[in-house]
Amino acid sequence: MTNLPLKRVVITGLGAITPIGNNPLEYWQGLTEGRNGVGLITLFDSSKHACKIAAQVKGFDPFDYIDRKEAKRMDRFAQFAVAGSKQAIADSGLIITDLNAEDIGVIIGTGVGGLKVLEEQQEVLLTKGPSRCSPFMIPTMIANMAAGLTAIHTGAKGPNNCTVTACAAGSNAIGDAFRLVQRGYAKAVICGGTEAAITPLSMAGFSSAKALSHRNDDPAHASRPFDRDRDGFVMGEGTGILLLEDLEHALDRGAKIYAEIVGYAMTCDAYHMTAPVPDGQGATRALELALKDAGLQPEQVSYINAHGTSTPANDKTETKAIKKALGQWAYQIPVSSTKSMTGHLLGGSGGIEAVATVLAIANDRVPPTMNLENPDPECDLDYVPGKSRAHVVGVALSNSFGFGGHNVTLAFQKYA
């Protein structure tokens, strides 16, 4: 099978549950309008926390997608994934039956999995004793359950996996799904990332690690990638899902095509548990290898959706990497961080940012980087400050970098 010519792989369906919209259309409108998704935390009492802000999903009702009894046995991260996957399948027009189920796979990444359930059950253990812990705790909290439950709720019986590479997990999931379809191991794969880490323990841990912005008095301006005054990322939650499909399979059933995925690369810094290597060499190699995989030259790139976390180290390191990989061409193209509006979804970020990148290609418009008021001198590219921009997007890259030194770049292009 692997000796056969590589398949072309296209995106035929999208799903999104985000802090600025609970379907792809709402999400895209939010991005192009520069909508702010950050506010004071309402999911739990944050009065004792140093960081009291996050980008929460608003108005999401899991019962719109999942039976009430089943939804109550799912952590929020898995509810998001199942909902987003159902959106993507419906958007694609693909009907999963007994005849094609084994040809359709699922790969959904997450950074931390079911933290909410874990924390709640820890409290039960301490206050009521071990015998009172739920028998559903383990199958609810484990990271692979988003992918497993998505298969259960959609009937997809093909390859099924979960990537857990911190903030690169969603992009790894999409890249791995690309390889499966490209090499003929599946006709279609539901893929992306999901996260629901706005929880007391998670927020305390990231805050203690000095990773979070503490702009509690001004949440709307807390996430400010590439800005001189950035002080950390804002935690977000949600899911971004793509349906990747063999081009021939998509054409045979008359599917609409948003874009084509043409390149994928992953590298490791092998440097530090949380900090990127200062010269950006790992991210540089990911960019270069993704272009090589796609058979593209730097001058063909017309947009980059940056990882752009709003942390002091990441933003300047990513800027270095883009300039090293693309040379002078880096100054000629728009680069934006949608985390300025959605916050950072950890393992879910690669999913929603891939959705944004694909929609940028489909609409020939690039989303802005909000709150970029005082550019960092070390971040000197065109970051599309403050307002979305009409721009023909033929080839777009999406970057994701994670704790542990994981680097991923995905390459998409306009379908022709």
Helices (H), 65-134: 68-71, 76-92, 115-128
Which tokens sit at 408? 């991923």
Q: What is the DSSP letter of 8?
A: P
Tell the residue number behind the tokens 């960019």, with chain if given: 287
Q: Determine which one of 51, 167, 191, 379 is catalytic.
A: 167
Q: Determine which one of 153, 249, 307, 406 is catalytic.
A: 307
Angle made by CA atoms 101, 151, 157, in degrees to the nearest 5: 30
Q: Determine which one of 153, 249, 344, 406 is catalytic.
A: 344
> Of 259, 272, 242, 92, which is closest to residue 170 (Cα–Cα)?
242
For the chain, state the CA radius of gyration: 20
Query: Partners of 412 in the beta sheet?
Result: 261, 396
E-strand spans in 369-405?
A: 389-390, 395-402
Asked if residues 9 and 247 have their Cβ atoms less than 8 Å apart, the reply is yes
Active site residue 272: no
The H or E element containing residue 149 is helix 145-154
Active site residue 214: no
Active site residue 268: no
> Of 166, 153, 181, which is closest to residue 62 (Cα–Cα)?
153
d(CA 170, CA 353): 9
Active site residues: 167, 307, 344
